[in-house]
Structure 1
Amino acid sequence: MPQLNPNPWFAILMFSWIIFLTIIPTKILNHTAPNEPTPINEEQCKTESWDWPW
């Protein structure tokens, strides 16, 4: 049965995983977000306590 012969399929599997784990993540991580988040001062984030009505 030819599907049990691991010679070509194992090599294809290994090369595809090498591509997925090395080349593709570096290409994806090279892209940067167009709008970088700006830090917010701590004074702006302070909230006042709120008394519950019950």
Structure 2
Amino acid sequence: MPQLNPALWFTTWAYVWLLMLLIFNPMMSYFHPLLPPTNTINSFKPHSWHWPWP
């Protein structure tokens, strides 16, 4: 078992995390956004789900 390089480990997981954020962030903000958009009053889109509270 070779010795694990912590810098290589950190950079690998940083790249994996950034790639996951780049892929999953638009998908999750489309399907399940954390906060509703700020201009919800006259800009209703029929497929944009948001939380019930304003």
- For Structure 1 versus Structure 2, the TM-score category normalised by the shorter chain is 0.3 to 0.5
Q: TM-score, normalised by structure 1?
A: 0.43
Task: Using CA pairs under 8 Å that are at least 6 residues apart, name the structure with larger relative contact order, 1 or 2.
Answer: 2
